[in-house]
Structure 1
Amino acid sequence: MDEKMNQPSKKLVAVSHCILNQNAVIHGWERASGAFPFALELLKQGVAMIQLPCPEFITLGANRPPMTYEEYAQIPNYRKICRDLLLPILQQIQAYQQEGYEYLGIIGINESPNCSITGQRGVLMEEFFSLCEVFAISSDFFEVPVWYSEDHQENMTGLLDQFMERG
């Protein structure tokens, strides 16, 4: 067997939890039957994924109601919960970088109260980027557009390629 085939690409991204697990999404708001299909494209290109935890699911469970950024931000100790969940993730990214891996950035969910990066940044992403500063990790980003779903993938591959080329 060719040894080169078994060598990792040494490229990785951090991804919002629901990208790989739509079961964590508020019931009725799912956009794919399991994981977002573009995750397969990343895997085909040899990009490893570090899945962020879902603080919404962990804190409020599967049957939670839809909530806004402001409502999540007002939950007592919610930011601390987010930071505590994110610390091991940032430690992993830092450890990979120290071993020569290329961290391409994070993939969030546009307009999510926790995982949005542009516009009103989500609570989890505020904490993520704050911890990136503490860990001296530069993090590019990409957001899953609100129009994207398993049935409406449009130019997602092209958008992802642009993101990965920046890294």
Structure 2
Amino acid sequence: MSHCVLNQNAVIHGWERARGAFPFAIELLRQGIALIQLPCPEFIVLGGDRPPMTYEEYRDLPNYRQKCQELLHPIIQQIQAYQAEGYQYLGIIGINESPNCSISGQRGVLMEEFFSECEKAQIGTSFLEVPTWYSEDAQGDFEEQLQGFLERGVKK
């Protein structure tokens, strides 16, 4: 799951959509669904007081893609280790229109690398994205989308 789903403190200051974690993530934990939090390369590389940047700006940042790959290696290893123990991997939850965590449309830099690493490791990955309109105060029909994602993952 994208880092900021569980930690809105990592997003660009003033762009937070919840206090702490998104409400749906807290509910997943209440349901007993374990979560693996992806690292936030934006925060790690540029810090909390970074300016808003586009996909192209991150893509073209020297060594940024390599840093994403390095950050993802332990995540891929964790997924493989959990699968070897018989746990079910349901998929990834990203952030729509994020320069790093978007999955559909223009895939973010981190997600490009994540899906590439999953392919190399032969990890099938379904996904769900948090819509741009989702917030602590405006959850809309996202819970229905989340339930569909969970049900698809359980059937695999």
Query: Could you tell me the TM-score, scaled by structure 2's length?
Result: 0.97
The offset of 1:113, in angstroms, is 0.1
Partner of 1:159: 145
Alpha-carbon distance in 2 for matches of 1:154, 1:29? 19
1:86-125 residue CA offsets vs partner (Å, 9 max, x unmatched): 0000000001001110000000000000000000000000
Higher RCO (Cα < 8 Å, 6 or more apart): 1
Alpha-carbon distance in 1 for matches of 2:37, 2:49? 21
Secondary structure in structure 1 of the residue aligned to 2:73: helix
The offset of 1:139, in angstroms, is 0.6
Alpha-carbon distance in 1 for matches of 2:30, 2:149? 16
Structure 1 unmatched ranges of 5 or more: 1-14
- The amino acid across from 2:26 in the alignment is L
Bigger strand fraction:
1
Partner of 1:69: 55
Secondary structure in structure 1 of the residue aligned to 2:36: strand
Partner of 1:56: 42
Runs of 4+ in 1 over 4 A off after TM superposition: none
Structure 2 unmatched ranges of 5 or more: none
Conservation of the 8 A alpha-carbon contact between 1:72 and 1:123: yes
The offset of 1:45, in angstroms, is 2.0
Provide the identity percentage.
73
Query: Which of 1 and 2 has greater Rg?
Result: 1
1:8-54 residue CA offsets vs partner (Å, 9 max, x unmatched): xxxxxxx0000000010000100001110001221122110000000
**How do 1:129-148 residues align onto structure 2 when only pairs under 5 Å count?**
129-148=115-134
Partner of 1:150: 136
Given candidates 23, 31, 36, the residue that maps to 2:17 is 31
Alpha-carbon distance in 2 for matches of 1:21, 1:115? 14
